[in-house]
Amino acid sequence: MSEGWDPAGFRARIDAVLHGFVAEEADLLVDVDPALGPVAEQVETAVARGKRLRAAFCYWGWRGGGQPDSDALVRAAAAMELVHAAAVVHDDLVDDSPLRHGRPTAHIALRSAVPDHPDPAGAARSLAMLAGDLLMSLAGQLFATSGLPAAFLGRARPLWAALARDLVAGECLEILHTGGAPDTAASLKVIRYKTAKYTVEQPLLIGGALAGAGARLDEGYSAYGLPLGEAFQLRDDLLGLFGDPDRTGKATTDDLRGRRPTALLAETWRLADGAQREHLTGLLADPPEGDGGAREGGGGAGGDGAALDGVRALMREVGAPERVEHMITARVGDALGVLDALDVPAGTATALTALAHSASARLS
């Protein structure tokens, strides 16, 4: 790859690595027993598409350290996408999300694999959990067999433990804060650990470690990566409620139905007066008990229709979407300000600038 940033060309390189590697592993899984076919299919589906942002940040972390383009590095960077695929399968499972990229999520799709099980839904959830575990294991395998020298890989190995620990911490914090009183500081901490670190900061740091980057560059990568990663998730929160489902491929009710501690909800609560808070509480009332009740128009904002529209209207009334947009703009500005002072090659600065805009100003 030349110094110019070619996002489509880079995605094609990452896709070629991921699809080939995972297809081979899926075949090996089916070789154990043909009954594992549906699980293997979900493992392949998990990597079928994506923006490949995490791989891109890892790649440019490497290039920022003064290293040239490398097919082995591309393979190592592709491992970041397997981490993401594992996180998505687990996140959809934790959140009981029905859709991802417009298709049934793994724990929904796998119900058809266990029609005779006494608890098909529970069995499908277990299969999805194990598929996610396999994807995380494959991430480590692809990284270790990327073809980079062992000394290079050794420099980055400690960062893998930090990546996994922070990701799990963020998921756990989201669960622990779900349903509680909305709090912007708590929501931003969830965002930082659940998304920002493994989406931007840690791929950059891993790429830098592979390249032999020094402490100063590492500090710059963190100062750029954390606010940009937060901006990425704040945009996701907005799209989750105000985005076009045909573009996002997700159900617009998921965050509200699950009472997740998003910054959008927390800012709505912070900006609302007493009457508006009382109204919001009513709109967020739990849906009736029963499988799928929220998706079938049950009570509260989890269902489609008037309650969901009411929450959107109230959020607009208090200016919460505009406030989150301001938070996104401020964080992207912080990231780009750091980049201006970062001592990296011009091509790396150009690519990281473009990635900052594509990560924060997206429609899906």
Q: Output the pLDDT for position 122.
A: 97
Across all residues in the chain, what is the average pLDDT? 91
User: Which has more confidence, 247 or 197?
Assistant: 197
pLDDT at 252 over 70: no
> Predicted confidence band at 288 (pLDDT cuts at 50, 70, 90)?
very low
Domain residues of the chain, as ranges?
A: 7-360
Q: Output the pLDDT for position 251.
A: 62
Average pLDDT over residues 138-167: 96
Average pLDDT over residues 79-93: 97
- Tell if the pTM clears 0.85, that is, is over it: yes
Q: Output the pLDDT for position 296.
A: 36
Three-class SS of the chain: CCCCCCHHHHHHHHHHHHHHHHHHHHHHHHHHCHHHHHHHHHHHHHCCCCCCHHHHHHHHHHHHCCCCCCHHHHHHHHHHHHHHHHHHHHHHHHHCCCEECCEECHHHHHHHHCCCCCCHHHHHHHHHHHHHHHHHHHHHHHHHCCCCCHHHHHHHHHHHHHHHHHHHHHHHHHHHHCCCCCCHHHHHHHHHHHHHHHHHHHHHHHHHHHHCCCHHHHHHHHHHHHHHHHHHHHHHHHHHHHCCHHHHCCCCCHHHHCCCCCHHHHHHHHHCCHHHHHHHHHHCCCCCCCCCHHHHCCCCCCCCCHHHHHHHHHHHHHCHHHHHHHHHHHHHHHHHHHHHHCCCCHHHHHHHHHHHHHHHCCCC
Domain 7-360 indexed as CATH 1.10.600.10: yes
User: Which has more confidence, 98 or 131?
Assistant: 131
pLDDT by residue (tens digit) across 7-45? 999 999 999 999 999 999 999 999 999 999 999 999 999
pLDDT at 305 over 80: no
Q: Output the pLDDT for position 101.
A: 83
